[in-house]
């Protein structure tokens, strides 16, 4: 039955684009996406079998789905937690960062489909928390550089694929927004690969392209000579351009302020901060100052607020305060969620693992967040960024050949 579902939900790829007509395509793509999400919303409204494992694709303009969720929320009696479960059933969480891959390396046995208390993340808790997609980090311990970093990253990629293949009823690899939606509609949790650390490239653009071919979709711009405290070097800028060309998202969490500001200028595709909250509320080095949040919003990037006590605070209300602040400065289309579970971080009370998202959404409902803004927060904003990165890559490939630049040539 799972194989039949897979065939029924296959999504066609976008065709080639004429570089002279790119401005014409963008409104057409937006209109098409809006039409698809409206139809999916109608199907969800008529379906009584939709549950924690099923979600609908959503973008910035999801009026039909918002009406459906609003009606269902009213039927839940106005209880915020009940309304949160209803909303998340239609708009599941796209979780921006999980350390599960590294955590599993140290376990001799695990079963994520049955449930495993030795980690924060398993399929039962993902379903309870209405998680529809996750980015699985490929970050490595500090100190690994050069060939060792490349080899360890490849081992991480292999481990993730092995884990997903071993849990076919709960997990599925996804490389695009369409494949993530497809997985959710088939009752699976989509697993996207990344972020990886900049050291994984070993200063080679060829390795960047190879990692993308293996499924990598996010790279953190820190921990390399070309992305340091002084910002991006000339080679670092070329890395960002090549990431735009192949379709790899730039992750700016943990990067220096100078790197963040320069990457926002250089990148033609949206950037993403996989684990960043508001520095004005909590002065953590990975959190973003207000001017950068404004700049991120202007660039239509995405700030994924982490659910960690160190960066956001010890309570659900603290996390909600950061989400309010980011939404106010960057805009509702530029804020998302990052569980950062299984990363070794301590988490706020009532958010100890991946099952806690309904409690956070209930808090936001109590603060007056609209269901449209919540649909963007949980699912739509990540989908928008993934689509835009792919669109930008297709356009760039028509204009630019693969870069053969070497660090010695540009930074020597």
The pLDDT tens digits for 356-407 are 999 999 999 999 999 999 999 999 999 999 999 999 999 999 999 999 999 9
How confident is the model over 146-194, as pLDDT tens digits? 999 999 999 999 999 999 999 999 999 999 999 999 999 999 999 999 9
Does pLDDT of 53 surpass 70? no
pLDDT of residue 141: 86
pLDDT band at 239 (very low <50, low <70, confident <90, very high): very high
Q: Tell me the domains of the chain and their CATH numbers.
A: 97-408 (3.20.20.140)
Token pair listed for 65: 């789905």
Compute how many other C-beta atoms are within 10 angstroms of the C-beta atom of residue 264: 18
pLDDT of residue 145: 87
How confident is the model over 267-299, as pLDDT tens digits? 999 999 999 999 999 999 999 999 999 999 999
Residues 123/115, Cβ–Cβ less than 8 Å: yes
Of 155, 251, 242, give the one whose Cα is nearest residue 206.
Answer: 242
Mean pLDDT of the chain: 86
pLDDT of residue 77: 54
Does pLDDT of 36 surpass 60? no
d(CA 145, CA 141): 10
pLDDT of residue 76: 54
pTM: 0.83
Q: What is the torsional sign of CA 179, 176, 378, 102?
A: positive
């Amino acid at each position: 039955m799972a194989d039949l579902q897979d065939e029924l939900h296959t999504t066609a790829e976008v065709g080639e684009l004429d570089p002279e007509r790119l401005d014409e395509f963008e409104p057409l793509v937006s209109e098409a996406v809006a039409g698809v999400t409206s139809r999916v919303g109608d199907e969800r409204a008529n379906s009584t079998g939709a549950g924690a494992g099923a979600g609908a694709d959503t973008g910035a303009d999801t009026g039909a789905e918002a009406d459906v969720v609003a009606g269902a929320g009213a039927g839940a009696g106005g209880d915020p937690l009940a309304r949160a479960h209803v909303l998340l059933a239609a708009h599941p969480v796209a979780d921006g960062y999980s350390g599960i891959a590294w955590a599993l390396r140290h376990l001799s046995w695990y079963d994520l489909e049955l449930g495993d208390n030795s980690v924060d993340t398993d399929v039962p808790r993902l379903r309870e928390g209405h998680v529809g997609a996750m980015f699985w980090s490929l970050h490595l311990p500090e100190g690994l550089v050069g060939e060792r970093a490349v080899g360890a990253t490849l081992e991480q990629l292999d481990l993730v694929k092995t884990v997903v293949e071993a849990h076919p009823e709960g997990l599925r690899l996804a490389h695009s927004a369409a494949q993530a939606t497809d997985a959710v509609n088939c009752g699976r949790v989509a697993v996207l690969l990344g972020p990886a650390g900049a050291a994984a490239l070993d200063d080679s653009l060829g390795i960047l392209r190879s990692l993308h071919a293996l499924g990598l979709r996010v790279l953190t711009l820190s921990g390399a000579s070309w992305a340091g405290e002084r910002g991006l070097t000339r080679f670092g800028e070329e890395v960002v351009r090549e990431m735009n060309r192949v379709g790899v998202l730039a992750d700016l969490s943990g990067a220096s302020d100078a790197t963040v500001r320069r990457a926002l200028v250089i990148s033609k595709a949206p950037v993403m901060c996989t684990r960043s909250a508001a520095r004005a509320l909590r002065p953590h080095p990975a959190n973003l100052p207000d001017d950068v949040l404004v700049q991120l919003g202007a660039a239509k990037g995405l700030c994924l607020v982490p659910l960690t006590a160190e960066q956001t605070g010890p309570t659900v209300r603290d996390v909600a305060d950061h989400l309010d602040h980011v939404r106010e400065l960057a805009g509702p289309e530029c804020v998302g969620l990052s569980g950062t579970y299984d990363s070794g971080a301590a988490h706020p009370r009532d958010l100890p693992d991946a099952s806690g998202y309904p409690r956070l959404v209930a808090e936001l409902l109590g603060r007056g967040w609209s269901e449209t803004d919540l649909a963007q927060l949980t699912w739509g904003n990540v989908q928008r960024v993934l689509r835009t990165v792919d669109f930008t890559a297709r356009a760039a490939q028509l204009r630019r050949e693969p870069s053969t630049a070497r660090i010695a040539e540009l930074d020597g």
